Amino acid sequence: MPGPSARLRPDADGSDEAFLGSDTGEENGGEDTGAPAVPPHLAAAVTDASAAVSHNLHGQKLGRKGRVTRERILAATIELVEKTDEPVTLGAVARSVGIGMTSIYNYFTDFTELLLAVLEPVMGSAQDEYFVLARDQWPDAELNARAMDFVRAYHAFWAKHTGLLHLRNSLADQFDVRIMHQRVNSTRPLIGLFVAQMDPRGALGDTAVLMATTLMTGIERSITLATDRRLRRILGTLPGRREESLLEVNARLMELAIRDMRERAAG
């Protein structure tokens, strides 16, 4: 938590723009060209997530520079987590952005809160990357092909965000309650989509929910292991065909689970 020196010098309109401008090396309207870049596939999502935040933790209205600083903090966190296996701390993020700890504490009380803010745009992008593939009812004749499309997209998402997602799961496994809630809440809507694939009329009740939960837990676990860069360094990279076979097996399990549930619901 920030100490008593974590004070703002607000603008006349009550925003923190003047303070943040001086603290981030942006005096006289200059730009900090050394700031980390937001990955292109997350740029819009990070901007949208930051735009939804109107005030900092001290109740000060965010000015333009305050919003930019918050975006840079998110970008630096993404970059550090994805590029290193070393523990990422608030201090490391502050050094990467080129600001003091006081400025970090204007926006985030601790690293968990920062990680949750980073995960928000990441999981938001999942809607267009793999959620969308499960929204329409899959025809019986296309179950395997549709399942394969979904599994490929899900694997690609994990491979793209491997550092962040593995860090999230690691903290959840260590019983970080806020991260545990994020993990469950981000998965629950996906499980709901597969319950609808299996049992659109709700005839099976909890049976379909349990099947969808078990299915997605198993698929997530196998893809988690396949995309864990630390395991790859220790055990070696899976041969391309073996990784493809893993996706095919997951798709086949998904197909069988959906088909079995549909037959039970119809019977």
Residues 148 and 251: beta-carbon distance below 8 Å? yes
pLDDT at 217 over 50: yes
SS3 78: helix
Buried/exposed code over 166-180 (b: 16+ C-beta within 10 A; e: otherwise): bbbbebbeeebeebb
Give just the sign of the alpha carbon dihedral 51, 77, 124, 170: negative
This prediction's pTM:
0.81
pLDDT at 228 over 90: no
Which pair of structure tokens corresponds to residue 200? 């659109």
Model confidence pLDDT, tens digit, residues 132-175: 999 999 999 999 999 999 999 999 999 999 999 999 999 999 99
Query: CA geometry: angle at 20 spanning 18 and 22, to 5°?
Result: 70
50 vs 182: CA distance, rounded Å: 18
> What pLDDT shows up at residue 6?
34
Helix axes 90-97, 111-129, angle to 10 degrees: 70
pLDDT at 18 over 80: no
> What pLDDT shows up at residue 138?
98
Average the pLDDT over 5-29 and give the result: 36
Q: Poorest-confidence range of 48-57, 128-137, 205-214?
A: 48-57
